[in-house]
Amino acid sequence: MPYRAPVSETCFLLDHVVGFSAVQATERFAEATSDTVQAVLTEAGKMCEEVMAPVQRNGDLHPAVLENGVVRCSPGYAEAYRAIAEGGWVAITADPEYGGMGLPLTVATAVNEMMSGACLALQLNPLLTQGQIEALEHHADEEMKALYLPRLISGEWAGTMNLTEPQAGSDVGALSSRATDNGDGTYAVTGQKIYISWGDNDFVENICHLVLARLPDAPAGTKGISLFMVPKFIPDENGNPGVANSLKVVSLEHKMGLHGSPTCVMSYEGATGWMVGEPGGGMKAMFTMMNNARLGVGGEGVGAAEGAYQHALAFANERKQGKNPYDTIIGHADVRRMLATMKAEIFTARAIALDCAVAIDMGRATGEAEWQARAAFLTPIAKAFGTDTGCEVSSMGVQVHGGMGYVEESGAAQYYRDVRVTAIYEGTNGIQAMDMVGRKLMDGGEVAGRLLDEIEAEAEAAKAALPDLAEAVWQAAETLRETTEWLVARPMPERFGTAVPYLRAFARVLGGHYHLRAAMADRDGVHGRLARFYITRLLPEHTGLLAHVRAEDAALMAISPDDLAA
């Protein structure tokens, strides 16, 4: 089933749902007119459909392999990567001074989503490079920027992020890789990193590893972590890849999915590195990369969900089983429920991701703290809800296929297996939710309250046109406000046991808000009908989720490890 890039749907969201016009009205992004954005998305969509989607199965059937210390990638990946690089899709947002397009992150978010829908395993490669470019733009000195940025932006070189170690997963502060000063402006980096995505490949000239490590006198925990650029080949005086650095891929992980993306165990053995930012400032610098990647990974979930949905829809239109007026299973109410749920959830997750990107763009363009705080609040929701949607929608896609969904040939299972990791990497969704109820509510719920004010005001205004839908959204926002006020009064540890249902409830209410906006713009069209489905059938889930949030905390922790083993 060929992939179709959702260009017109994305343009609808930009124009009517997520307020992209505010970004276009800024001086910084004035060139991102609707015509330009539509042309960019159309061009990127064509590349996704014609070049990336055809190699998606190759990655699954012929995973990357490690041969004599070198990673050999899946068939067709090199050619597809070249098309990504030549199209400029690696670095849409990057600084034009170094060869980037300087477009808003909102546009990049839409393009990244389409690339994920076409071939998730390959898309992860440029996504990592994008994050690295941003980290270098913010934290590297001029010399490092001049050397690395043009080559990363053109796609000649690729970037990776190296945080995880066997004993340091979610707790990055526990990492033990070390770096010693060589006295000549370089450092010797030693340690083992695990799960490093795209730690090597055979289609770029050089691979630039951003590695977190500790200096000898560094304090324990995250404050003692510094960041180093450790290239696979040390650049010579002309900036070309020179001698091989002292690092290697030890092995590749055998994974549930995402087989086209080599997940490497990396060994650094006194490898030459250059510090990025300040000593002890590694987490701050890496956070730039991780924040970018969190939204990007949320978009991966949305993209995979879209791919899985298109696959399931095509199947439902062909499979004959049982009697109904449509002749195929799309006429059965339960199949229609699954497909409508998939479509409505994709709409919600896409709107959250794009709205988050709009807030980031506005924060950058205006420097206003309010936009930056809104972006920070929406980021964990975009990551967790986007990837949960990827997992749930692709699981439903398998269900729509019946037995064929469980048979690999149909391709439905690949979406499910590939996307599953997105809820785990880039901070598990549990950690995202803890960030939301912890750091993101440390303002006493001010940002959350402003978002809810906006939702209620718009619902109020929509009451004349769509009274029942608007009332339901208003009520949901009010219930969420009460629980938010209750939650911020709780001591921090008590918030964590209910962080996940709280984040999901917030996403649910945001979904009601975006669907209502879409219905106001397209009352008698597909968005109007989809909004009615979402608001009457999916939005009510927030009530149960919020009851979970407000349940007695002691009841959770009273279930002891012994009880669990009983």
Ligand X SMILES: Cc1cc2nc3c(=O)[nH]c(=O)nc-3n(C[C@H](O)[C@H](O)[C@H](O)COP(=O)(O)OP(=O)(O)OC[C@H]3O[C@@H](n4cnc5c(N)ncnc54)[C@H](O)[C@@H]3O)c2cc1C
Q: Does 306 participate in catalysis according to the annotation?
A: no
State the nearest-atom distance from the C-beta of 427 to ligand X, in Å: 6
Catalytic residue among 306, 392, 426, 456: 426
195 interacts with ligand X by CB under 6 A: yes
Q: What is the DSSP-derived secondary structure letter of residue 74? A: P
Q: Choose the binding region for ligand X from 147-155, 160-168, 344-352, 470-478 (rule: CB under 6 A).
A: 160-168
Sign of CA dihedral 50, 53, 57, 59: positive
274 interacts with ligand X by CB under 6 A: no
263 interacts with ligand X by CB under 6 A: yes
Which CB atom, from 382 or from 451, has the smaller least distance to ligand X? 382
> How many whole angstroms separate alpha carbon 286 and alpha carbon 209?
12
- What does the buried/exposed string (b/e) look like for 426-461 if buried means 16 or more CB atoms within 10 Å of the residue's CB? bbbbbbbbbbbbbebbeeebebbeebbeebbebbee
- For 87, the 3-state DSSP assignment is coil
Beta strand 157-162 pairing with 206-214: parallel
> How many whole angstroms separate alpha carbon 415 and alpha carbon 20?
30
170 interacts with ligand X by CB under 6 A: yes
In this structure, the dihedral spanned by the alpha carbons of residues 7, 8, 9 and 11, taken in order and rounded to 10 degrees, is 90
162 interacts with ligand X by CB under 6 A: yes
Q: By the 8 A CB rule, do 175 and 163 touch? A: yes
State the nearest-atom distance from the C-beta of 126 to ligand X, in Å: 13
85 interacts with ligand X by CB under 6 A: no
163 interacts with ligand X by CB under 6 A: yes
Q: Choose the binding region for ligand X from 136-144, 161-169, 266-274, 554-562 (rule: CB under 6 A).
A: 161-169
Which CB atom, from 113 or from 200, has the smaller least distance to ligand X? 200
Residue list 196-215, contact with ligand X (CB under 6 A): 196-197
Which CB atom, from 263 or from 483, has the smaller least distance to ligand X? 263
Rounded alpha-carbon distances, angstroms, from residue 500 to 346, 435, 436, 455, 503: 19, 10, 9, 21, 5
- For 530, the 3-state DSSP assignment is helix
Q: By the 8 A CB rule, do 393 and 117 touch? A: no
Which CB atom, from 144 or from 424, has the smaller least distance to ligand X? 424
167 interacts with ligand X by CB under 6 A: no
State the nearest-atom distance from the C-beta of 175 to ligand X, in Å: 9
Which CB atom, from 170 or from 317, has the smaller least distance to ligand X? 170
Which CB atom, from 1 or from 424, has the smaller least distance to ligand X? 424
Cβ burial, residue 262 (10 Å; 0-12/13-18/19+): buried
Instruction: Give the residues lining the site for ligand X (CB under 6 A).
Output: 161-164, 169-170, 195-197, 255, 258, 263, 421, 424-425, 428, 430-431
Q: Which residues are catalytic?
A: 426
